Amino acid sequence: MISNQILQSTIEGLKGITRIDFCICDTEGKVLASTFSEAEEYENSILAFVDSPADSQVIQGYQFFKVFDENQLEYILLAKGSNEDVYMVGKMVVFQIQNLLVAYKERFDKDNFIKNLLLDNLLLVDIYNRAKKLHIETNVKRVVFIIETKHEKDGSALETVRSLFATKTKDFVTAVDEKNIILVKEVKPGETYADLEKTANIILDMLNTEAMSKVHVAFGTIVNEIKEVSRSYKEAKMALDVGKIFYSGKNVVAYSNLGIGRLIYQLPLPLCRMFIKEIFDGKSPDEFDEETLTTINKFFENSLNVSETSRQLYIHRNTLVYRLDKLQKSTGLDLRVFEDAITFKIALMVVKYMKYMESMDY
Amino acid sequence: MAGLLLKNVAKLYPNGGVGVKDISMEIADGEFAVLAGPAGSGKSTLLRMIGGLEDISQGDIYIGGVRVNDLEPRDRGVAMIFRNYILYPQMTVYENLAFGLRLSGCGKDEIHERVTETAKLLEITELLDLPSEQVTGIDRYKVAVGRAVARKPKVLLMDDPMLCVDGELRREMREGLAELYRHLGVTVIYVTEDAGEAMALGTRLVVIRDGALEQTGTPEEVYEKPINRFVAEYFGDPAINVLEAMVGEENGRAVLTVAGSHGVFSEENSRRLLAAGYAGKEITVGVRPEDIHCEPECLERFSDNLIDACADVYETAGDAAYMSFRVGSYTMKAKVPQSAGIRPGDEVKLAVDPSRVYIFDKDTQKAI
């Protein structure tokens, strides 16, 4: 259960303190981690020791120890030397590894619990019972972040996120598929959505910098109880999808900021087609030239303000008015009128959504 | 080290949005290039495209002569620093510096060598064994920069790393970065919205607006010869004064009328205006605050270009003092000496050096 890398770093660290060489093998004599090179030579001795009733034994100048996990023999530890000091240090190392096993098992159980919680695989009563057993608080505020990596099984990204958050015992990092890393984060008192946005940006920037991974980050709303965590997860998932359709330039998307995009995302495609046909009379806004699209976007950005838009576009006010008149002639919508502007804005978003649905490609 | 070449690079989003429009430019080996422009202009998107964090819709990117379009970020020989950086909690400074190297598959000895070398360069050797929580202020920033430097990149990409700090720390960070650049000699691409920071740090400015390249050049070139009104207004604090002027012609020389005052253009501007047929048309003129004078000797020297103005607001900025003047319907800012003794409400004459007047087409806003 514990990775060989962890075992190796543990015995290297212990060797650094005690100056005693160690080796950890499995019950078939295979070396898992070692601080000396000739460890393979002891395979037969290890197999004999496994079969013996002794918990520790001196063989060929090494102290052999059995490491149990809940009465199940898990590892054999070899400590170089046969004196009492080596025996004492060896016992301490066994104790350390056993504690590591307990910690990892607990973490693994927690990981399973969080996965099942996110995927709605638990009965309500089980959620509270298991949370209690795993010492997970049930009544604290939490939020779910999803970090979507470009490549499947991006180990660097997972390790970076774990290093940033998993050391905090109240946050959980897990994965339910191969492209998404999930962070269930406890929300501190007073923490706002602006703070969560900042956290999301930190995740993004750290992953870009350290793991050099292309990622998108989305997060759901803050939930008050553990049973609602899956809702925050579903929201984050939706935010990830909706963000790709309507806010493709953004790498961080919050469910709470999806706005009207969230509604459009749930519209059936035939209804969208009908709406666009009615608004644009069969034409697509794609057919507008770049100049017209830039004008429209700038006009919306500036809250339908003609003076500011013409200033930012470096065109005369009359030129802008001419362009808007031309658009009105071709679509029947006058963007200077709020009702028409909102219809046009929704229509543009519906077209984006239809394109996404038709291509199912980002 | 490596230079950078962009050929017709564009970023088009599937929904029709345009992030970056057909940008071509070359950054020489060892240059400190600053991508400057307002928020949302596409600077960061371009930087991320160079780093491989955004797909390129069109065009080619070369780093050190190698086309990198299809290379993963970690294979491009770049390192990146972004505006949101934190140190890994529960890790020492050494482990923080080593983390990225470990992820990229470096061996233990190599990691040790690079970490100690980087720490020495950034003068944080004594901090290596400290837990990251105990590191504060400029040292935290140094560790964050160190993580990138330890990768030994050919090109260092920085996305406005000082955005979230201000005051003394920002000044320290800026100085430290300039010094680090001198030591490393590596090519740096730096993104900022802060025009002053761009001028202070960059050996080359790349001005971007609405996803398009407006102008590139040394800070002096961009400041002295802006290609359009936008660039002229973007660089300079306080910003350049911009006024509408009517061009006339007297004795074969272009003259101007602005806010009821008359003046002459420099010979060079006059020749350009008349050759392009601007006589009798309106143009936009720009005058930087430091090119407007109220000293008696200047009033005499530029007696053909005097403006009637009424002093308005006086503000000091360090050793300089700026005064706002009402000139017709315009408000102009001028750098005035403390000794000028002008008080708000005073009616004064201001002189403009004609050779320091920028002229722009009124419709296109391009420099004439």
Q: Domain containing A244 — which CATH number? A: 3.30.70.270
Confidence of residue B275 (pLDDT cuts 50, 70, 90): very high
Please check whether residues B208 and B245 belong to one and the same domain: no
β-sheet bridge partners, residue B32: B188
Please check whether residues A227 and A280 belong to one and the same domain: no
- pLDDT of res. B44: 93
Listed residue (A252, A277, A269, A278) closest to A355, CA to CA: A269
Over residues B281-305, the mean pLDDT reads 89
- Report if residue B317 sits inside a domain: yes
Q: Convert A48-64 to b/e letters by CB count within 10 Å (16 or more is b).
A: ebbeeeeeeeeeeebbb
B365 pLDDT above the threshold of 80: yes
Domain total for chain B? 2
- Report if residue A206 sits inside a domain: yes
- Under an 8 A CB cutoff, do A249 and B52 touch? no
- pLDDT of res. A134: 85
Domain residues for the domain of A210 are 119-263
Please check whether residues B300 and B221 belong to one and the same domain: no
Query: Tokens 């006086």 label which residue?
Result: B314
B99 touching A (Cβ < 8 Å): yes
CATH code at position B82: 3.40.50.300
Please check whether residues A223 and A274 belong to one and the same domain: no
β-sheet bridge partners, residue B361: B283
Please check whether residues A345 and A277 belong to one and the same domain: yes
Q: How many C-beta atoms lie closer than 10 Å to residue B49's C-beta?
A: 24
CATH code at position A66: 3.30.450.40
CATH code at position B247: 2.40.50.140
Q: Convert B257-284 to b/e letters by CB count within 10 Å (16 or more is b).
A: ebbebebbbbeebbebbbeeebeeeebb
CA–CA separation, A117 vs B346, rounded Å? 74
Upper half-sphere CA count for residue B53 (Cβ side, 13 Å): 29
- Report if residue B316 sits inside a domain: yes
- Report if residue B366 sits inside a domain: no
Instruction: Look over chain B and give the mean of its residue pLDDT values, rounded to a whole number.
Output: 90
- Report if residue A84 sits inside a domain: yes
- Under an 8 A CB cutoff, do A164 and B86 touch? yes
Please check whether residues B164 and B269 belong to one and the same domain: no
A252-291 residues touching B, CB cutoff 8 A = 286, 290
- pLDDT of res. A362: 42
- pLDDT of res. A265: 92
Kindly report, residue by residue over B232-261, the tens digit of the pLDDT.
999 998 899 999 999 999 888 899 888 888
Please check whether residues A215 and A327 belong to one and the same domain: no
Single out the residue in A76, A104, A132 at which a domain terminates.
A104
Interface probe, candidates A151, A197, A204, A205, chain B, greatest B C-beta count within 10 A? A205
Please check whether residues B181 and B284 belong to one and the same domain: no
B14 touching A (Cβ < 8 Å): yes
Q: Is A61 helix (H, G, I), strand (E, B) or coil?
A: coil
DSSP code per residue over B165-212: --HHHHHHHHHHHHHHHHHH--EEEEEES-HHHHHHH-SEEEEEETTE
Please check whether residues B122 and B167 belong to one and the same domain: yes
CA–CA separation, A216 vs A240, rounded Å? 7
B338 pLDDT above the threshold of 80: no
- Report if residue A156 sits inside a domain: yes
Please check whether residues B47 and B116 belong to one and the same domain: yes
Amino acid at B51: G
Interface probe, candidates B21, B84, B87, B360, chain A, greatest A C-beta count within 10 A? B84
Residue of chain B with shortest Cα separation from A214: B53
Please check whether residues B219 and B273 belong to one and the same domain: no
CA–CA separation, B158 vs B297, rounded Å? 47
Q: How many C-beta atoms lie closer than 10 Å to residue B138's C-beta?
A: 16
Please check whether residues B74 and B152 belong to one and the same domain: yes
- pLDDT of res. A94: 95
**Biggest alpha carbon–alpha carbon distance for chain B:** 80
Please check whether residues A133 and A225 belong to one and the same domain: yes
- Report if residue A109 sits inside a domain: no
Cis peptide before B238 (omega within 30 of 0): yes
A139 touching B (Cβ < 8 Å): no
Please check whether residues A143 and A233 belong to one and the same domain: yes
Chain B closest-CA separation from residue A201 CA (Å): 7
Single out the residue in A237, A263, A289 at which a domain terminates.
A263
- pLDDT of res. A81: 92
pTM for the model: 0.77
Strand order of the β-sheet with B4-12 is: B18-27, B4-12, B58-63, B66-67
Single out the residue in A229, A247, A263 at which a domain terminates.
A263
- Under an 8 A CB cutoff, do A208 and B88 touch? no
Please check whether residues B190 and B158 belong to one and the same domain: yes
Domain total for chain A? 3
Please check whether residues B278 and B219 belong to one and the same domain: no
Please check whether residues A301 and A317 belong to one and the same domain: yes
Q: Give me the percent of chain B exceeding a pLDDT of 70.
A: 98
- Report if residue B368 sits inside a domain: no
Cβ neighbourhood burial of B347 (10 Å; 0-12, 13-18, 19+): exposed
DSSP code per residue over A182-202: EEEEEPPTT--HHHHHHHHHH
A199 touching B (Cβ < 8 Å): no
Domain residues for the domain of B322 are 241-361
Please check whether residues A150 and A18 belong to one and the same domain: no
Cβ neighbourhood burial of B29 (10 Å; 0-12, 13-18, 19+): middle
Residue from the list B13, B16, B99 with its beta carbon closest to the beta carbon of A210: B99
CA–CA separation, A23 vs A33, rounded Å? 6
Chain A closest-CA separation from residue B11 CA (Å): 10
Over residues B281-298, the mean pLDDT reads 90
Kindly report, residue by residue over B130-141, the tens digit of the pLDDT.
999 899 888 888
Residue of chain B with shortest Cα separation from A197: B84
Q: How many C-beta atoms lie closer than 10 Å to residue A72's C-beta?
A: 8
Q: How many C-beta atoms lie closer than 10 Å to residue A139's C-beta?
A: 8
Cβ neighbourhood burial of A122 (10 Å; 0-12, 13-18, 19+): buried
Phi and psi (nearest 5°) for B325?
-125, 140
CA–CA separation, B323 vs B331, rounded Å? 10
In which region does residue A141 sit, left (phi positive, over 0), alpha (psi from -120 to 50) or beta (all else)? beta
Kindly report, residue by residue over B2-24, the tens digit of the pLDDT.
899 999 999 987 766 788 999 99
β-sheet bridge partners, residue B36: B192, B207
Please check whether residues B262 and B324 belong to one and the same domain: yes
Q: Is A336 helix (H, G, I), strand (E, B) or coil?
A: coil
Residue from the list B15, B85, B229 with its beta carbon closest to the beta carbon of A248: B15
Please check whether residues A130 and A161 belong to one and the same domain: yes
Please check whether residues B277 and B160 belong to one and the same domain: no
Over residues B331-342, the mean pLDDT reads 83
B366 touching A (Cβ < 8 Å): no
CB A326 within 8 A of CB A319: no
- Report if residue B339 sits inside a domain: yes
Listed residue (B309, B301, B351) closest to B327, CA to CA: B309
Single out the residue in B170, B203, B228 at which a domain terminates.
B228
User: What are the average pLDDT values for consecutive 10-residue runs of chain A, which has 362 residues?
Assistant: 84 93 92 88 90 91 91 92 93 93 80 92 89 89 95 83 78 89 93 94 91 92 95 96 88 93 91 86 72 86 90 84 91 91 90 81 46
β-sheet bridge partners, residue B263: B256
Tokens of A149: 């990596």
The secondary structure element, H or E, covering residue A59 is strand A56-59
